[in-house]
Structure 1
């Protein structure tokens, strides 16, 4: 869990330092604006923008029951964020597994990608697809 929050924490710390230098220079407005930008970036790179993650075993079980795809992801991954944001509200209809929080999820991704932890990996009906387009993933959702 700590690894997923390292980048957001680093962004907030750096933003605070940059804002502090602006305050020291007498630019309070610029300091507030810069701090808000860094906080926004920290939020975007945090696990908070993704639907709640579940374990890999639970995701496989649920997928077998309801036919929804399983998405293996990790915080800070630009491709995962692209998939998440382009799916919009449909993202909540998928089963999300954070590979940094779930060792079984990381093992499943490595097994599907010749030992690499390449994300997002979307599993549909037991078949993995690496970095698919959001439109394709939306098309895999059961009606």
Structure 2
């Protein structure tokens, strides 16, 4: 009888561990997809989807300055910065409670001040689960060398 209880206990631990791992990787997949979708929405100038994603108090840090949600949406909609393509080379993600931080190493091709420019960045994105939706709280572009690697 003791052997059966021990085996049942071990089986229960395995099932709980697998369930936790699946849930965690499911959340990670959701955040990574959201991050990738965001790049496409920026390229498409889809401010309706971005407006829903960006928290009202979100902050955006670029090479030329920092601003809030309304200004970022205006920049995207007007095309004063057109995020034409973000080629994502590497992604790291950490989740703590209802907060997720994503680091993307990208090569960004953007139309800025009348010209296409290509720049290497590590972009830091901060998301927070609010009710049932993830909202972006911050997006920061850090200029890096193309040999830069994200530590996982």
TM tier relative to shorter chain: 0.3 to 0.5
Tell which has more relative contact order, 1 or 2 (C-alpha 8 A, sep 6+). Answer: 1
Q: TM-score, normalised by structure 2?
A: 0.33
Q: Which has the higher helix share?
A: 1
State TM-score, norm by structure 1: 0.34
Query: Which has the larger strand fraction?
Result: 2
Greater Rg over alpha carbons, structure:
2
